A and B are shown apart, each in its own frame.
Chain A
Amino acid sequence: MAKVFIYPVNSLILADLVERFGHKPLAVMNQVREKVTNISLDSPPVNITPEDPKVGLRYAAVEVPAGVRGRMSLIGPLIEDAEAAIIVEAPPVNFGCVGCNRTNELMRYLVRSKDIPILELRYPDSEENAPEFVYKIKAFLESLPREEEK
């Protein structure tokens, strides 16, 4: 079983696919499970304190907006943990979105900087292309080492 970072990091569909193929999705939902509310796109945590953006300084400098650093305080540790990653480019908002594109750019950069297997693919632009999208993810997940192989 590999720990697979998913992008968008709150995509339920990607998290479900990773789980179905026997791996552990590294999704932000796990980070915010304790306390959530529905005021933004991705059910953000309400228990983020001013200390969290300071934790985010590990990933982005102080001149980077507090919202990016606050998000990175949750997402950064997931990237550090990742053994593989799936990046879906240009998805619609309801596929998953953390709301801030600067955070998205930083997340993708940090993932690409790691020496791990990464699948990058575009979100399908039509229903006909959807099966191909799922097959590619399936093949990638099947290529990752399972528990016994590790």
Chain B
Amino acid sequence: MSEEAGIVKIALVSCGSEYSGVQPEFEAAATEVNAKFVYPEIDVAGLDNIGREFGLEVASGDLRLMMARAKAVVEGTTHVDGVFITTCFRCAEGAIVRNEVRRYIHKHSNIPVISYSFTERTTAGTLLTRLEALTTVARRRHLLAREAQTGLTAGIDSGSTTTKAVVMRDNEIIGSGWVPTTKVLESAEEAYSLALKEAGVPREEIQALGTTGYGRFLIGKHFNAQLIQEEITVNSKGAVYLADCQTGPATVIDIGGMDNKAISVDDGIPGMFTMGGICAGASGRFFEMISKRLGVDITELGALAVKGVQENVTMNSYCIVFGIQSLVNSLAKGAIPEDVAAAACYSVVEQIFEQQLQEVDVKEPLILVGGSSLIEGVPKALGDLLKIDVLVPKNSHLIGAVGAALLASGYVEE
């Protein structure tokens, strides 16, 4: 890690983000997580031949600069703790280089990497969770090495749609709570109380608490949590723990209420990851709307979907509005609810495949988590699409809360 106390050095490998008006946002997000961007030194004269050397010849100078900077990082010419690779959204040449540079760094080093495509509307808030995860992997690797929960700890996951809480004792979940998120603090209080009640332990006895999810900062401060952590590291840890795949490679897909995460994990530590999507059409929110329109409870949608044939209905959930239009049109044409439910599940996983799984190397086991993993049609559709077995661990919907309780137990011993 950087010699400057606590500061994580992140190499910014970009095609010219400073021209897009987003550079101040990048800097603001980095400052927020106590990181700073560095720009690996390269020999400008070498840029004319770097394409041939790298094996990817492109016309844009800044894309060649990206390759040269990636090479400087891999060869250790510039020492960094993480790499942020970013190019303009909608640039094909940039997307090709971004992906290949990410693969190159991942193949030739152990440095954590994230990649992102920006528009002029990208904000620091959008980047915060990603950079927080990147700095956590660099800064707190020892914490992520934890494989068993010890003592009496709790975790609260304040998600965009639901709030989950668990109480764990000596590597066992002894209480859980799962409530819809309305007011962030009140929902957290309710879920936590339910978990404590089921566990039969008073709040004062909890030795350490971890919080995660969108509301993590607010509830973490409120409950005086020992660990306040973004959901990428917490969920990947929780997923491999619940699926009992803590060593070796794994891929975690978390379909959340508002966004999705695809995380490539090695020994429980996230490597490459992406957060999507562009529209809620690929998230749990879409399933909620589909259930509502079909007049079934969301807990019944999965059973309905496994009975249906997705090919009978064309559904485009790239955008939630178009997705609902497809739904209305297909019902009007006489489609049966089972087929619609199956098509909805397939549409969501297809979008995850097209937009997110291209950016991480999918390695088995594939662990599906998040509330949507409980909709049986979703793991089935994902398995059908990828032609591999999809693992849905027990308590997969509690993933964030379990991961937080597990990681928080590191503070019991400290």
Contact with A along B47-63 (1 / 0, CB 8 A): 11000000000111111
Contact with B along A38-67 (1 / 0, CB 8 A): 111100111011111110000000011111
Q: Does A98 contact B (CB under 8 A)?
A: yes
Return chain B residues, CB-CB under 8 Å to A113: none
Residue of A nearest to B90 (CB): A65
B61 touches A41 (CB 8 A): yes
Q: Does B223 contact A (CB under 8 A)?
A: no
Return chain A residues, CB-CB under 8 Å to B48: 92-93
Q: Does A126 contact B (CB under 8 A)?
A: no
Binds A, one of B11-19, B70-78, B145-153, B186-194: B11-19
Q: Does A101 contact B (CB under 8 A)?
A: yes
Expressed in whole angstroms, the Cα–Cα distance for A126 and B145 within the complex equals 58
Q: Does A78 contact B (CB under 8 A)?
A: no
B21 touches A71 (CB 8 A): no
Number of A-B contacts (CB under 8 A): 115
Nearest CB on A from B127, distance (A):
14
Interface size class of B (residues with CB under 8 A): 35 or more
Return chain B residues, CB-CB under 8 Å to A102: 60, 91, 93
Return chain A residues, CB-CB under 8 Å to B39: 38-39
A66 touches B120 (CB 8 A): yes
Q: Does A99 contact B (CB under 8 A)?
A: yes
**A97-136: which have CB < 8 Å to B?**
97-102, 104
Q: Does B121 contact A (CB under 8 A)?
A: yes
Expressed in whole angstroms, the Cα–Cα distance for A99 and B18 within the complex equals 12
**A1-54: which have CB < 8 Å to B?**
37-41, 44-46, 48-54
Q: Does B20 contact A (CB under 8 A)?
A: yes
B89 touches A65 (CB 8 A): yes
Q: Does B88 contact A (CB under 8 A)?
A: yes
CB within 8 Å for A50 and B62 given contacts A64-B90, A66-B88, A66-B120 = no
Nearest CB on B from A33, distance (A):
15
Nearest CB on B from A85, distance (A):
20
Apart from A38-B39, A44-B19, A99-B60, 20 more pairs, CB < 8 Å: A40-B18, A41-B47, A48-B21, A52-B120, A53-B120, A63-B90, A64-B90, A66-B19, A67-B19, A67-B87, A68-B91, A93-B45, A93-B48, A94-B44, A99-B16, A99-B19, A99-B65, A101-B60, A102-B60, A102-B91
The 4 closest A-B pairs by CB, nearest first: A99-B62, A65-B88, A101-B59, A70-B19
